């Protein structure tokens, strides 16, 4: 009954969206395609070719990997048989300030995987609170794992996830795992699908230079309908982008929700230091530690140490998302600020690794991440200027174009295997515009960081002059860059 109700609501949503597109088309004047508009169309087209070409390349590469290359790799893994088995599996879970119901779901799934994977396994719990330890011990006794499955606790201070990871990695190091052991790093709100361990660990034998890999994600959102759809859209886009980058074995993040590493990687003192105390030397903001973004730090460390990265699309996890605010606008902006900040803090130094290390396509993608904050705003800005200067018809043309293209993009996302909904086209555009503005804001404030679930914030203990200089110079650079962008568009239109 619930599925029928959901299906009817989604059908009504799609009908409403298509009706809006038809109304926009009917509102256009007959002179819409007058040759006088050719300069406007050329201006939009020049940047649009770049933006849509990057999207099309990712889509084609992603589908190529998902439907052709990955099945070929999978057949090779099957031929390896037991030769691909690891000597030992460590399942390390970090949790802090997550509700008891979610924590129970997570640890139940991890203990189940430890039992059912059949490998010698140690479950390492990196926790802060005694209540979590008591909960895990209770579940451990109820599920009664066999002798080859062991439990280890690492009690840590509540100073952030990076410290939790570092303490856990050092605990694993003390057990002196051999070169065939693997470590799965699991977040405290991640529920593992059945068989995810057996689907991920054999790839390290097939690809000797892969240092880490990550998995497909689905989510359950404890929030509103629009917040739920926003997260699900993000995971559908993530899936295709991950597949695209996996074609080059250059997946751009080792997702903190669940990634698997060679044990020799996580026991490497350089890797541990990169995750625990990663920092940036900025020409204007000075030196500052990274509070969030451990997934980007681990990826950068792998690249710097000479490893490849991979993605396993049929190994899935389910995350329990707790929005930081009840309001969708506030919650999405907070999450974007954290995600895009992590991305931009790693971007420039990653590019400095060079094409020889990253590859041409990965370097192009990293460069595109830096310019997309401006190119994403170009169409809207030009449409607004043209509608004020020439005719309101331009904004209607633009909205119709956005409506049609976002509909096509949504339909293409259905090939990812993730479900699509009628709110996706609007959310895609929201992400484009609001995401670009958040990127511009955070680009000039890379030192500003905070967790969305924890009250932890970066405290640099700067002198009053340094704080004022950083604050006002950030505002001045944001204003200057935005002014130059608008002035350039006014001159072009």
Where do the domains of the chain lie?
A: 13-52+369-492, 83-348
Residue 37: per-residue pLDDT: 53
Question: Is the pLDDT assigned to residue 24 strictly greater than 90?
Answer: no
Q: At what angle do helices 393-413 and 360-389 cross, to 10 degrees?
A: 150
pLDDT one-digit tens code per residue, 138-153: 999 999 999 999 999 9
Q: Nearest-CA neighbor of 293 among 467, 173, 126, 458?
A: 458
Average pLDDT over residues 405-428: 91
When pLDDT is cut at 50, 70 and 90, the band that residue 322 belongs to is: confident
**What was the pLDDT predicted at 271?**
96
- Burial readout 324-344 (b: 16 or more C-beta within 10 A, e: otherwise): beeebeebbbbbbbbbbbbbb
Q: Which residue has the tokens 């704080």?
A: 467
pLDDT in tens, 195-249: 999 999 999 999 999 999 999 999 989 889 999 999 999 999 999 999 999 999 9
- CATH number corresponding to 83-348: 3.90.550.10
Whether the model clears a pTM of 0.85, i.e. scores above it, the answer is: yes
Q: Which residue has the higher pLDDT, 493 or 129?
A: 129
Give the integer Cα–Cα distance in Å for 14 and 175. 55
At 46, the pLDDT band (50, 70, 90 cuts) reads low
Q: What pLDDT digit, counting tens, does each position of 99-115 carry?
A: 888 899 999 999 999 99
CA 310 to each of CA 117, 247, 316: distance values in angstroms, whole numbers, following the listed order: 21, 8, 14
Q: Quote the tokens at residue 217.
A: 């994600």
Q: How high is the pLDDT of residue 455?
A: 55
Q: What is the pLDDT of the chain when averaged over all its residues?
A: 89
**454 pLDDT more than 80:** no
pLDDT at 213: 97
Of the pLDDT bands very low, low, confident and very high (cuts 50, 70, 90), residue 331 is very high
Q: Return the pLDDT at 38.
A: 53
Give the rounded percent of residues in the chain with a pLDDT score beyond 90.
64
Q: Encode pLDDT of 342-369 as tens digits.
A: 999 998 889 999 999 999 999 999 999 9
The answer to whether residues 455 and 353 touch, using CB atoms and an 8 Å cutoff, is no
Tokens of 312: 């396993």
pLDDT digits (tens, 9 = 90+) for 456-475: 566 666 778 788 888 899 99
pLDDT digits 0-9 by tens, 167-202: 999 999 999 999 999 999 999 999 999 999 999 999
Q: How many residues belong to the chain?
A: 493
SS (H, E, C) 74-112: HHHHHHHHHHHCCCCEEEEEEECCCCHHHHHHHHHHHHH
Q: What percent of the chain has pLDDT over 70?
A: 94
Is the predicted pLDDT of residue 314 greater than 80, yes or no? yes
Under the banding of pLDDT at 50, 70 and 90, the label for residue 33 is low
Is pLDDT at 31 greater than 80 in this prediction? no
- pLDDT of 5 > 80? The answer is no
Least confident of 11-20, 29-38, 92-101: 29-38
pLDDT at 100: 85
List CB contacts of 260: < 8 A, sequence separation 6 or more: 182, 183, 184, 185, 200, 201, 204, 212, 213, 214, 215
């Amino acid at each position: 009954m619930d599925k029928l109700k959901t299906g009817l609501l989604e059908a009504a949503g799609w009908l409403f969206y298509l009706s809006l597109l038809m109304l926009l088309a009917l509102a256009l004047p007959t002179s819409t395609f007058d040759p006088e508009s050719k300069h406007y169309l050329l201006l939009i087209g020049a940047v649009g070719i770049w933006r849509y070409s990057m999207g099309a390349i990712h889509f084609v590469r992603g589908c190529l990997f998902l439907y052709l290359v990955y099945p070929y790799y999978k057949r090779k893994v099957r031929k390896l048989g037991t030769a691909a088995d690891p000597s030992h599996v460590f399942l390390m879970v970090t949790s802090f300030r997550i509700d008891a119901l979610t924590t129970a779901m997570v640890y139940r799934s991890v203990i189940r995987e430890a039992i059912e994977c059949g490998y010698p396994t140690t479950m390492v719990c990196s926790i802060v609170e005694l209540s979590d330890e008591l909960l895990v011990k209770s579940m451990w006794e109820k599920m009664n794992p066999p002798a080859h499955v062991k439990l280890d606790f690492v009690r840590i201070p509540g100073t952030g996830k990076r410290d939790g990871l570092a303490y856990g990695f050092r605990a694993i190091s003390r057990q002196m795992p051999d070169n065939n052991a693997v470590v799965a790093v699991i977040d405290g709100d991640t529920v593992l699908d059945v068989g995810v361990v057996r689907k991920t660990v054999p790839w390290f034998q097939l690809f000797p230079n892969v240092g880490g890999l990550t998995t497909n994600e689905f989510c359950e959102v404890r929030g509103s309908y629009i917040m739920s759809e926003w997260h699900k859209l993000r995971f559908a886009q993530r899936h295709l982008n991950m597949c695209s980058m996996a074609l080059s074995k250059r997946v751009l993040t080792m997702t903190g929700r669940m990634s698997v590493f060679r044990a020799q990687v996580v026991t490497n003192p350089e890797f541990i230091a990169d995750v625990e105390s990663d920092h940036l030397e900025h020409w204007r903001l000075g030196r500052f530690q990274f509070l969030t973004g451990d997934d980007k730090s681990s990826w950068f460390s792998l690249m710097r140490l000479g490893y490849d990265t991979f993605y396993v699309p049929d190994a899935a996890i389910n995350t329990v998302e707790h929005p930081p605010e009840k309001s969708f606008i506030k919650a999405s902006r907070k999450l974007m600020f954290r995600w895009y900040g992590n991305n931009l803090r790693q971007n420039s130094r990653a590019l400095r690794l060079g094409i020889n290390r990253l590859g041409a396509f990965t370097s192009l993608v990293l460069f595109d991440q830096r310019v997309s904050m401006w190119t994403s705003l170009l169409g809207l800005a030009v449409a607004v200027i043209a509608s004020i200067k020439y005719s309101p018809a331009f904004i209607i043309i633009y909205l119709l174009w956005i409506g049609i293209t976002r509909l096509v993009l949504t339909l293409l996302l259905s090939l990812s295997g993730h479900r699509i909904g009628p709110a996706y086209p609007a959310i895609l555009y929201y992400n484009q515009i609001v995401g670009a503005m958040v990127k511009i804001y955070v680009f000039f404030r890379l030192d500003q960081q905070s967790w969305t679930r924890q009250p932890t914030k970066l405290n640099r203990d700067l002198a009053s002059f340094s704080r004022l200089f950083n604050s006002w110079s950030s505002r001045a650079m944001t204003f200057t860059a935005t002014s130059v962008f608008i002035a350039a568009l006014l001159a072009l239109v």
